[in-house]
Structure 1
Amino acid sequence: MATPRLELLHEAPTTAARNAPPLLFVHGGFCNAHCWRPMMKKLAGAGFACYALSLEGHGGSDGRAYLPMIGIADYVNNLAAVGADFASPPVLIGHSMGGFVIQQYLARHPAAAVALLASVPPSGLAASSWRLTTRSPAMLMRLNLYQQGQYQPDLAELREMLFSPAASDRTIAEFARHAQPESQRAVLEMAFVPPLLQPRLPDVPALVLGATGDALISADDVAATARRLRSPAEMLPGIGHMMMLDAGWERVAARLLSWLDTLHPAKYVDAAA
């Protein structure tokens, strides 16, 4: 099969460029690369070259017509195709499903560092689905219908599912404008991943963040992802699942920036910057 055309957004540094690998952002389900726009602008303002990929079947990338057939391995191949175009391995920053894709990618491909935000954990979505089944079955049903493109929630329902109460209507409406169904094959492949199919990942600098207001990914899920990467888990208060857009997203950006600043200065920080 021919390599699909993939949408790749770019924000060039708006201050003195750092001597650092590029930052490559990978979105989660429901959305595309545009969800990273505010975060990219913020980090480009700190001297980083920022790129955001729309996975196959999302945004302006090829694949809308065959989205239900696309699997996690295809998303990993998308990431590998984009990563191969950089002069050196990028820093990968992934959200939700994008964090799960990055975990699979790391098993076979290099990265300078990884930051995972509200990532689907190594074992998949089984624990999250069970929690919603017992605590909020109506939300689980709406999410499933939303993923399949059979239901369009209003702003209040999107806030409950994906944002914190503090999120503005404007932010949620902008998210909804870019939202779309997700591949049911990819969702099924994340439903449950048995331990024997969870390969050990290489040692790589990692930041693993979760949000206390996240209705989908729990603190236990965040901890499981952090253990796999042999990194501490950090929970940011008062933020919902869409950590890069929700009210308080600037705190997420600040934590990312402070983490990037701790990486090897000879490699990541230009002394003249």
Structure 2
Amino acid sequence: MSLFNVQWSPRKDLGLHIKLHPSVFRTHINTPGGHLELLCATPPHHDASKPPLLFIHGGFGAATEYRFFLEYFSSRGYPSYALSVRGHGNSYSVGFWKMLFTSQHQMALDVTAGIRHVIDKHRFEGRPDIVPVAHSAGGALLQYILSEGLYSIPRRIGLLGVIPCYGSVGVYWNWVKLDPIYPLRMYLLHFGHPRSPLSSTRLVKQAFFCDECPDERVREFETQEMPPYESMAWPLATFGMFADPEKIVRAAGLPARYGGKSEVDLRPRVLVIAGGKDVLMKPGVMAKLVGLLRAAVRLVLVSAGSEGDAQEGVKDAVEFRVVQGSGHQLMNDIHWKECAENLLKFLQ
């Protein structure tokens, strides 16, 4: 049922009409709540030196957002996966009111189920640890998982235009500045419906894509991939600081001495990518997150007695890149390939 261009009932066909590359196939993970969609892309040639990648979407997203990434990275030897959390993509449906109050912690449990599945699948191949790559509110979930120790995962992580661990008030203020009648529309016309700020192609494009992105691509995302409604408890949990930067960098495998002799020790551990035209998680928002993570790296190194390395290695530990032409949908906008290339360099 739809009312004033928003829908109040779940959809069971999300993502099923999106054309996937022949190398990408759809499977599901069983969880206590129901099945979670997992898109998989197996490399044409086995290379045990390359880690599996797990891509995590954000609010109003789905695994299919990463279809370009799945083909790109699998063709370069990386087993690649993209997960849809509950109520998103082709994962199990959740009713409107239940979804509205689904917590950040519950969403994080879906992500850990995906991580566990991918790790188990490659456990005996001798590959490096899984590298999770998360976008927007999915990046908030990943930071929360690392900070809370919900699963002992990576040695490297990728954060694409993410809600920063220090809180999202500034992000939502950017949204209000972009769309000043957003609160009025949401509460007077749409009765508080979470899809209200994204209830038309124009609103989706101005929030998520660059101006040059064809409207056809935006409409495909809007009509075929975006769920009809979203959790409100999930974003509300990110308003204040929701994850500890020091715990995040420790979970990313920061060694006691960053300047050690091992080549592995010298690799960047966290990659943050911003869209140059992202109007929500603006480059300045991401730069502040990078500064916070680098400060945490410095604290970890100093506490380990590596004061010299604290000055030399901090910038290298947390890498920052900006895809100048891209909007918020870094992996799905027209500049997705530049984002993928930056991620590939980080992985290598």
Smaller-chain TM-score range? 0.7 to 0.9
Q: Of 103, 122, 135, which residue of structure 1 is paired with 2:165?
A: 122
2:37 is aligned to 7
Structure 2 distance, partners of 1:62, 1:10, is 18
1:211 is aligned to 275
1:80 is aligned to 112
1:133 is aligned to 176
2:208 is aligned to 162
After TM superposition, give the deviation of residue 214 of structure 1 in Å. Answer: 0.5
Structure 2 distance, partners of 1:222, 1:182, is 24
On the 8 A contact 1:115/1:208 being kept in 2, the answer is yes
Q: Could you tell me which amino acid in structure 1 is paired with residue 138 of structure 2?
A: G
2:346 is aligned to 259
On the 8 A contact 1:162/1:241 being kept in 2, the answer is yes
For structure 1, which segment, 82-91 or 163-172, has the greater mean C-alpha deviation from structure 2 after superposition? Answer: 82-91
Structure 2 distance, partners of 1:151, 1:131, is 13
State percent identity of aligned pairs.
25
Q: Could you tell me which amino acid in structure 1 is paired with residue 57 of structure 2?
A: H
Structure 2 distance, partners of 1:147, 1:245, is 25
On the 8 A contact 1:35/1:245 being kept in 2, the answer is yes
After TM superposition, give the deviation of residue 199 of structure 1 in Å. Answer: 6.0
For structure 1, which segment, 131-140 or 206-215, has the greater mean C-alpha deviation from structure 2 after superposition? Answer: 131-140
Cα 1:143/1:190, change in 2 over 3 Å: farther
SS at match of 1:214: coil
On the 8 A contact 2:213/2:333 being kept in 1, the answer is yes
2:266 is aligned to none
2:8 is aligned to none
Structure 2 distance, partners of 1:133, 1:98, is 21
Q: Could you tell me which amino acid in structure 2 is paired with residue 127 of structure 1?
A: G
After TM superposition, give the deviation of residue 3 of structure 1 in Å. Answer: 4.5
SS at match of 2:60: coil
CA RMSD of aligned residues (A): 2.6
After TM superposition, give the deviation of residue 43 of structure 1 in Å. Answer: 0.8
Cα 1:157/1:36, change in 2 over 3 Å: same
Structure 1 segment 221-240 matched on structure 2, within 5 A: 221-230=285-294, 231-240=318-327
SS at match of 1:99: helix
Q: Could you tell me which amino acid in structure 1 is paired with residue 274 of structure 2?
A: G
1:38 paired with 2:68, answer yes
1:200 paired with 2:244, answer no
On the 8 A contact 1:33/1:59 being kept in 2, the answer is yes
SS at match of 2:66: helix
Question: What are the Cα deviations for residues 40-89 of structure 1, in whole angstroms up to 9, with x where unaligned?
Answer: 11111111100111012211222422312211111221121222221454
1:187 paired with 2:274, answer no
2:141 is aligned to 101
Structure 1 distance, partners of 2:33, 2:324, is 41
SS at match of 2:134: strand
1:61 is aligned to 91
